[in-house]
Structure 1
Amino acid sequence: MSLVQMTTEQLQQLIEAVKVAAIADNPVASAPAPSKGSFTNCGSRFGGERDHYAVEEFITSVETFKDIEHIKDEDALRGISLLFYDLASTWWQGVKREAKTWNDAVELIRSHFAPTKPAYQIYMEIFQHNQGTGIGIDTFVLAKRALLAQLPEGRHNEESEIDLIYGLLNVDYRKHIARHDVKTFKDLLEKARIVEHNDTETFEDPAPKPSTERGSGLGGRNRCSYCSYRGHTIENCRKKKSAEGH
């Protein structure tokens, strides 16, 4: 029977027969492609630091990589050991049976290396240090807000958080920035940067003072750093010259 004489049904049967024969000859080709995603090329590694920020940075980085590479949860769970070293690697060998899912593994990391602190302890850390001299406003506010983020969700709104941090600012900032002028952290940082910029200009380009000799009309403005008398400078101090034998 030629193809021209075949009915549509007969042609479909022939196609199915060819497919079955092809699968029988090469069963591997017919199997669904396995997931190729893994953590082999992930740049994040964790050694077991007991630090909230280090743990959260690691988890965020790994989950971002997992999403981008489309790694399935079960594959991620099997491959997470590639990301551990030192203490973390030893720890994982002992607890991996407890992780039935990817979310279980993430929670195990958090609970062991960065357990949730009680609220009172977080408040103690917030108020432990004021903004010292030489600490930039960005660095200081960033550190305090990171602590506030560890409190239970919804504990404070932004206005309340500013109240908590404002009183810890260096007095030089509070002299120039009134609390009622600040509505958001963005406002606070922008105004504080202006204060820092103005202070930098003051130190880098001080107004020059006139140099005068004793007896001039402006002589009273100078004070000798050697004898402390006004009206002359150390270069013209008679007492200093006498002491040196001149």
Structure 2
Amino acid sequence: MNGFAGNFVKCALRFDGKPGSDVNGFIDAIEIYKHCAQVSDMNALRGLPMLLDVVNLLRITFGPKKPAYLVYRELFSTEQDYKTTTDVCEKRPILSHLPADALSEKV
């Protein structure tokens, strides 16, 4: 395999982030392209540095939102251990799924 085989050079997929865009379809297409073009993780990192990290961020940012009760169920499904910083890092992405009006400061 030469140095140019298995990369994203000919990948024409784009995601614009508009409200009607299907983020899950985009992610599936990228993963299928990566598999079919035999793009190794190393080449994916070189050619599209944020691809592996951005997949989760795309789902969080542009994907369909979960209802608040499901987010809370996931959030409180595990207890916090002694590593608070780790727990906070794990819970932040879950909280990002809450709808904007889900948290009220009124009691």
Q: TM-score, normalised by structure 2?
A: 0.50
Query: Relative contact order (C-alpha < 8 Å, sep 6+): which is higher?
Result: 2
Q: TM-score, normalised by structure 1?
A: 0.24
